[in-house]
Amino acid sequence: MEKFCRERQKAILNAARQAFPEFHDCSEDIADMTAEEAIADIRYLEGHGLLKVQGPRYLNQMDWDVSIQITSEGIDFIEADGGLSAILGVVTVRLHDETIKNLIEAKILAADLPQPDKQRYIDELRKLPAESTKHLVMKLIDAGLTNAPAAWTAIQNALAPYL
């Protein structure tokens, strides 16, 4: 028996979803699972904020005297469209210093420059401290926004055959 099973997790979330906004009494069947089979998955889903669990709690075991309720995050997780979280959520993209340097380095390598110049720029880029890399990224964003009309034209030209 797998300790964590995506199919069991899906069945647990769907059982809780069917009972929502009420709690699902786990003494009723959840897809023919025993408490022993489901405990790790229920705790895992609870730990990720997808379920609320009510009832007796034990360290390494669980009895079916518990009830589970799906949270808003749980509903959004199992919805095909991502639910309201997809509509209301803010996406945060984090790029590490090395990732940014690798992206800039790739552009330097693709540039129409003599190889010694490319290597010189890459060597200097690799030496930059994080704060200088941040400053460089802000300059690149500024340059990109300044040239946004050219980017928009490129996007329109690329999509024109599909419209």
Domain ranges in the chain are 6-88, 97-162
Percent of the chain with pLDDT over 90: 28
Element (H, E) at 113: none
Supply the CATH classification number for the domain 6-88: 1.10.10
**CB crowding 119-140: b at 16 or more within 10 Å, else e:** eebeeebeebeeeebeeebeee
Q: What is the mean pLDDT of residues 55-70?
A: 69
Q: How confident is the prediction for the chain on average, in pLDDT?
A: 84
For residue range 100-133, list pLDDT tens digits in order.
Answer: 899 999 999 998 999 999 999 999 989 988 888 8
CA-CA distance, 51 to 75, in Å (whole number)?
A: 9
pTM here is: 0.53
pLDDT band at 80 (very low <50, low <70, confident <90, very high): confident
